[in-house]
Amino acid sequence: MAGHSPVAAQAHSGMGRVLYEWNDLEAAAHHLARSIELGQLWGNVDALSGDYIALAWLRRAQGDLPGASDALQEAERLTKGKGFHATGRVRLAVIRGDLPAVERWVRGCGLDVAGEINPTREEEYIALTRALLALGQTDATGQLLARLLEAVEKDRRLGRGIEILVLQALAHRAQGDQERALTALGRAVALAEPEGYVRTFLDEGEPLRSLLSDLSARLAGQIGATGDPDLGRLLAYSGDLLAAFPATEPGVCQAPSADRARKPGPGLVEPLSERELEVLRLVADGLTNQAIAQARALGFL
């Protein structure tokens, strides 16, 4: 049956990731669970492990750190601890403030901050920047992020570029350079607003919320001086993001209403529909045209 095919699993997985980024956690959980169910049926280890990674961050977003750890453990079991999946552990260690575990991972990861970047290990390099930042090695963090950003800009990979800009903002903040921090975050917000990114910002927790509040204050001042409607749009988007940060412990964020979370911001002359944005996200996640067609047939698009 088409609804039980490997392509159906891929479509569910893509939808789960789209909905997670839009912060519709309940719907994302449904699609990821279905993808995992189908993945177990077909025995696709790579796809399954990727879904468990996505499930880990969804549970973390819901405030369930033990559940996130369990999902990562399952991903590691499937891959026997190999590949980039182990980087999820270091990110959880950063969130928990377990610096000894972070240091052990940095020593054993085999990545050279100053060496040539291997594009197949990009996920590990991103994890390394988070680890170095947690350890207070802000200069090394900044240098590595600059090189990573150059690579993704060359390839025009929007989602990864936004993530790196957010990390750059946090690194500049840690260095006490508020001006450069707000500049990097402003670039991230401007790129993210047309397509309504949410979790990329929320997942960084309180430090990012504080910077976003400062950016909003700056935008409000600039609007007063210039009356620029584009700045007004970015201010509204920043306000929506700030409203999505709950008053919980740092690093744990939950979802606002699905309507707010899933509504792509304005900013295009002819804004893309939600369904068109879903297709873009599915393509970005590696779906083939056949998989997109299958997703439509199954009623996802």
CA angle 56, 66, 63 (to 5 degrees): 70
pLDDT of the residue at 47: 82
- The answer to whether position 121 is within a domain reads no
Stated pTM of the model: 0.78
**Torsion sign, CA atoms 195, 198, 203, 207:** positive
Distance CA(14)–CA(34), nearest Å, equals 11
- The answer to whether position 222 is within a domain reads no
pLDDT of the residue at 209: 96
- The answer to whether position 42 is within a domain reads yes
Domain region containing 292? 1-64+274-301
Residue that is written with structure tokens 């306000």 in the block = 239
Tokens of 133: 């930042």
- The answer to whether position 21 is within a domain reads yes
- The answer to whether position 41 is within a domain reads yes
Cβ pair 301, 278 in contact under 8 A: yes
| Three-state DSSP state, 291 | helix
Q: How many domains does the chain have?
A: 1
pLDDT of the residue at 295: 44
- The answer to whether position 59 is within a domain reads yes
Tokens of 296: 């439509």
74-79 CB contacts, 8 Å cutoff, 24+ apart:
74/49, 75/48, 75/49, 75/50, 78/45, 78/48, 78/49, 78/52, 79/45, 79/49
pLDDT of the residue at 15: 86
Distance CA(85)–CA(82), nearest Å, equals 7
Distance of CA 181 to CAs 76, 81, 113, 115, 229, Å?
A: 35, 35, 21, 25, 23
pLDDT along the chain (301 residues), means of 10: 65 88 92 90 80 91 89 83 66 87 91 86 92 94 94 86 96 96 95 91 94 95 83 93 76 38 35 47 48 46 43
Q: What is the pLDDT of residues 162-178, one digit of tens each?
A: 999 999 999 999 999 99
- The answer to whether position 138 is within a domain reads no
H or E element, residue 217: helix 206-226
- The answer to whether position 10 is within a domain reads yes
- Look up residue 69 and give its amino acid: S
Q: What is the pLDDT of residues 138-171, one digit of tens each?
A: 999 999 999 999 988 888 888 899 999 999 999 9
